[in-house]
Amino acid sequence: MRIDPKGTVAGYPALTVRQALRRLQFYMTWDEADAAKAAALPLSAAKAFAVALERAGLAEVASKGRWSITQTGKRLSSATAARPILRATAERAYREFLDRVEEVNRNDYYLGRVAALVLFGSMLCPEVDRLSDVDVAVDVIPKEPDRERARQANYGRASELEAKGHTFRFPPARAICWKTEVFDFLQHRSRVIALADLHAEGELILAVPHKIVYSEPGWTPYIPPPEVEVPRTPIPDDPDCPF
């Protein structure tokens, strides 16, 4: 997916929206203060920004005064603003990406591993010679099967990085340090690779033409549970109530 770096999204600069979505996706839900910080806006302008994201389908209301990022918003957060590239350039970047996937799964330093890899987008169309990017999605899971030991390993790694000067801008980012570290290595600051989280965006990605390049035996895509509407119990009229 590509965005125009000089264009607008939801009435705001496209790059500002993309950066805000990248930061806000660390939160299950977020409020106006979080939005202001993510988009570098004054607090007084945060509600209008959140509502604009909502109207554009990039966010949705989670509860009163709180929002969450939609699947469309997650896709936009990983969009590239780079110029179109030749297929030969894309194929070289893709081969290098596959090498990094192998390195993550082989190297004990990384706390997560790639359980599945999916290719989608224009790379699947051989007749297209100029591509916007290479759309790939990975499902990264902990190498340590025990949840408590995996959690302790994650916070140990986070402390190591902080001791080296790394700063976690948002509290939730520290809790998924193990996963972010893998994604950062796989992305490798490449302007060609558009990397998506298959666990978070699989429902959307697997609904479009795609190719499962790799998956562990027994792997199945994560399907979010359906939202259940809780019926409201009507309150009977109280003849003694003055209201």
At residue 241, the pLDDT reads: 40
| Gap between the Cα atoms of 117 and 104, Å rounded | 13
Residue type (1 letter), 179 = K
At residue 243, the pLDDT reads: 35
* Sign of the Cα pseudo-torsion (71, 73, 77, 80, in order): positive
At residue 138, the pLDDT reads: 97
What pLDDT digit, counting tens, does each position of 19-62 carry? Answer: 999 889 878 899 999 999 999 999 999 999 999 999 999 999 99
At residue 60, the pLDDT reads: 94
At residue 228, the pLDDT reads: 54
Q: Which of 195, 184, 180, 57 is nearest to 121 (CA)?
A: 195
Mean pLDDT per 10-residue segment, the chain (243 residues): 84 93 87 94 95 95 93 83 86 97 98 97 89 92 97 96 89 90 94 89 88 95 66 49 38
At residue 226, the pLDDT reads: 65
Tokens read off for 180: 């972010």
Provide the residue ranges of all domains of the chain, joining segments of one domain with +: 8-76, 83-215
Alpha helix ranges (H) inside 64-215:
71-77, 87-106, 147-163, 171-175, 177-187, 198-205
At residue 2, the pLDDT reads: 74
At residue 227, the pLDDT reads: 57
| Gap between the Cα atoms of 16 and 52, Å rounded | 13
CATH match for 8-76 among 1.25.10.10, 1.10.10.10, 3.40.50.620, 3.40.720.10: 1.10.10.10
At residue 239, the pLDDT reads: 47
